[in-house]
Amino acid sequence: MTANLAETLTLLLIEDDDGDAFLVEELLKQAVAPPKIFRARSLEEARAKLTPQIQCVLVDLSLPDASRLEALEAVLAVAPHTAVLVLTGLNDVQTALSAVQSGAQDYLVKGDVDARLLARSITYAMERKRADVAQIKLMQAELTAKENARLESALLPGPLLRGAPIEHMTRYLPGSGGTLAGDFFDTVQTPDGSVHLVIGDVCGHGPDEAALGVALRIAWRTLVLAGQTEATLLRTLDTLLRAERKAPEIFTTLCTVTITPDLRHAKMRVVGHPPPVLVRDGVVEVVAGTPSGPPLGIFHDVEWPVIEVPLGAEWSMMLYTDGLIEAVVSEPGRLLGVDGLLDLVREHGVIDLDRLITHVGTLSDDLAVIMVQKGRA
């Protein structure tokens, strides 16, 4: 009777007995589409032949250099995404159960196998392996999504404002690559009524960079709540960055702002970061004198001078990461840039985050934005 392998497969038969190997090959020749069979007589020889083109492995449990489950475990270690079917003379129920529990898709005893059973077992083994791999990938994706959500929540917390008469809005959009970045922001009002803001960006993408961003954001909030809002704060963040980063080339840009309790003046330090946008008395501009120094983690013994910014009675301020100005806009390959950002704000007349983001095209990097504004009393 014709076996039911309907497509030409590439198999690896790991069998040291020539007679048994010949019988397996003869059984598989009866398939509708006989497979291409490579043979290995030992585990050592099999390792060299376990290439990506192998779709299924038939392995004996009695090899000259491996016995029982040792051979199976070695094959699974070398080819974890390939279907493995045990074909052996050991008619042992416990061994069969252990083989399947260890990762084999099926267990066949040589003396009980005919062409149809062997072909069907190979087909089913491959389907089960595909299902197992798909399930593993789904679980990994779900775990990654949960971890990303947890990190994003820690990177982008809610503001600690105690009734300050200002409007506060934030936005965050992930980059098109789908990999978590280290953009972070925070807002804290201290007991004296001052409002403190930070926005930062750890260079690179991935969970390590995101975790570093979380550490810097929490450290910033802790230092502000402890009353450290001047140059000591940046020096401490720089020390923390150097201690926690995975590689010496990793740096962080950020912008810190302290708004006075009367909400009419601000002190800024722009640490290698894109300049904030201000709207005062209908005039849209970036903060003059930025940046006030290089990013964190580049040079030792750096001082970041304070930039004094008069705000007046009515104003809006936007802090953002470079994902915004590096976004591709309507023309192919044209980046928004700082000038393009200013033009959009001028076009709207105010800093409208939702309208602004609708004009942003493809994001090559994550985008984080804080907007605070004070209207006339």
DSSP symbols for 239-272: HHHHHH-SSTT--EEEEEEEE-TTSSEEEEEEES
Q: 90, 105, 136: which is the final residue of a domain?
A: 136
- Domain of residue 266: give its range: 156-374
pTM tops 0.85, yes or no: no
Final residue belonging to a domain, choices 136, 167, 195: 136
Both 47 and 164 in one domain: the answer is no
CATH number, position 24? 3.40.50.2300
Tens digits of residue pLDDT in 286-329: 987 777 889 999 999 888 999 999 998 999 999 999 888 888 77
Q: How far apart are CA 59 and CA 98, in angstroms?
A: 15
Nearest to 172 by CA among 221, 210, 229: 210
In a domain, 363, yes or no: yes
Same domain (yes/no): 124, 160? no
Range 135-161 average pLDDT = 70
Nearest C-alpha neighbor of 261 from the set 311, 223, 220: 311
pLDDT at 151: 59
Task: Answer with the one of 108, 136, 164 that is the final residue of a domain.
Answer: 136
Pairing mode, if any, of strands 56-59 and 10-14?
parallel
Q: What is the pLDDT of residue 251?
A: 96
What CATH number is associated with residue 327?
Answer: 3.60.40.10
- Considering the domain architecture, whether residues 112 and 161 belong to the same structural domain is answered as no
Q: Which of 208, 186, 168, 177 is nearest to 254 (CA)?
A: 186
Q: What's the start-to-end Cα distance of the chain, in Å?
A: 91
**200-209 average pLDDT score:** 88
Residue 353 has pLDDT above 50, yes or no: yes
Tell me, yes or no, whether 121 and 199 share the same domain. Answer: no
CB-based contacts of 223, cutoff 8 Å, min separation 6:
229, 232, 233, 236, 237
Which pair of structure tokens corresponds to residue 114? 């005919």
Q: Is the pLDDT of residue 78 over 70?
A: yes
pLDDT (tens digit per residue) in 40-74: 999 899 888 988 889 999 988 888 888 778 888 88
294 and 330 share one domain: yes
Structural domain includes residue 328: yes
On whether both 188 and 132 belong to a single domain, the answer is: no
Q: Are residues 260 and 345 in the same domain?
A: yes
Structural contact between residues 121 and 84, judged by C-beta atoms closer than 8 angstroms: no
Residue 262 falls within a domain, yes or no? Answer: yes
CA 204, 368, 288, 307 dihedral sign is: negative
The answer to whether residue 5 is domain-embedded is no
| Domain total of the chain | 2
Are residues 97 and 169 located together in one domain of the fold? no
Domain co-membership, 179 together with 326: yes
- Give per-residue pLDDT as tens, 1-43: 345 565 678 899 999 989 999 988 889 888 878 889 999 999 8
Q: Do 190 and 270 have their domain in common?
A: yes
Q: How many CB atoms lie within 10 A of CB 104?
A: 25
**Would 234 be classed as within a structural domain?**
yes
Whether 142 maps to a domain, the answer reads: no
| Pair of tokens at residue 244 | 């926690």
Report d(CA 184, CA 190) in Å as an integer.
20
- What percent of the chain is modeled with pLDDT above 90? 37
Q: Looking at the domain assignment, is residue 41 inside a domain?
A: yes
Residue 169 and residue 265 in one domain = yes
Residues 105 and 237 in one domain: no
Q: Is residue 243 part of a domain?
A: yes
Judged against a pLDDT cut of 90, whether residue 194 lies above it is answered with: yes
> Does residue 377 carry a pLDDT above 80?
no
Which helix H or strand E contains 21, and what residues bound it? helix 18-28
Question: Which residues are CB-contacts of 42 (< 8 A; sequence separation ≥ 6)?
Answer: 14, 16, 63, 64, 65, 66
- 269-279 burial, b at 16+ Cβ within 10 Å, e below that, comes to bbbbbbbbbbb
